[in-house]
Amino acid sequence: DADVTQTPRNRITKTGKRIMLECSQTKGHDRMYWYRQDPGLGLRLIYYSFDVKDINKGEISDGYSVSRQAQAKFSLSLESAIPNQTALYFCATRYSTGELFFGEGSRLTVL
Amino acid sequence: GENVEQHPSTLSVQEGDSAVIKCTYSDSASNYFPWYKQELGKRPQLIIDIRSNVGEKKDQRIAVTLNKTAKHFSLHITETQPEDSAVYFCAATDSWGKFQFGAGTQVVVTP
């Protein structure tokens, strides 16, 4: 299985702060994704990237930005965090037409 | 874009009975339909998937059926056990690899 590592695993921050969630993978998968999970809403796509030069918005990209620093690294930033961005964030990777492999998640609390 | 609806949102079954979760999708271009299981505090993990050129797939106690004409697919769990208790997500994606998830079904298996 792909090794998808997310840091930090837990973060508490204050409204207005800039936050970065990092994701790295060791399997050489070309496609990387950021999802947000809220109770009862499933997994909603924030951004996705098919390679270093190809980054696309998902359904809930407002208030977020991403950076694909290398094939193995895909970071999610909250420019100015707000309380309704409190959620569990998952990074995921995929090789071509295969399954999604999820990281262990980053729980973010914005006070 | 793709829209995936999942029902029911919660499902309580007696141990040994069967569980069925249904999903519908909107984009006829979708061609890959995975099911993920998420245990409490864990990441979602793939349990079974089906592609659009197949109508049914089975793996031990788990099966998935796909009706492309009606644009719906279902997860069937037979002989449920307490360890089947979890949240289950369906998803649909097209060849571009943009996954859309359902809202999830909380399955509770009571002894």
Q: What residues in chain A have their Cβ under 8 A from chain B's Cβ atoms?
A: 31, 33, 35, 40-45, 48, 50, 56, 58-59, 90, 94, 97, 99-100, 102-105
* Separation CA B10–CA A90 (nearest Å): 23
**Which residues in chain A are contacts of B91 at CB distance < 8 A?**
43, 100
What is the mean predicted confidence (pLDDT) over B99-110? 94
What is the mean predicted confidence (pLDDT) over B32-47? 95
What is the mean predicted confidence (pLDDT) over B60-66? 97
Contact assessment for residue B103 and residue B7, using Cβ atoms and an 8 Å cutoff: no
State the pLDDT at residue A97. 67
Secondary structure class of A40 (helix, strand, coil): coil
What is the per-residue pLDDT across A37-90, written as a single tens digit (0 to 9) for each?
A: 998 888 999 999 998 999 999 989 999 999 999 999 999 999 999 999 999 999
State the pLDDT at residue B73. 97
Residue A16, pLDDT above cutoff 80: yes
Residue B59, pLDDT above cutoff 80: yes
Residue B97, pLDDT above cutoff 90: no
What is the mean predicted confidence (pLDDT) over B55-83? 96
Instruction: Give the mean pLDDT of chain B.
Output: 94
* Separation CA B4–CA A78 (nearest Å): 27
State the pLDDT at residue A39. 83
What is the mean predicted confidence (pLDDT) over B4-24? 97
State the pLDDT at residue B89. 97
Closest residue of A to B10, CA-based? A40
Cβ contacts of B52 within 8 Å, gap of 6 or more: B30, B31, B32, B33, B66, B68
**Nearest by CB to A42, which of B32, B34, B103?**
B103
pLDDT-based confidence at A104, cuts 50/70/90?
very high
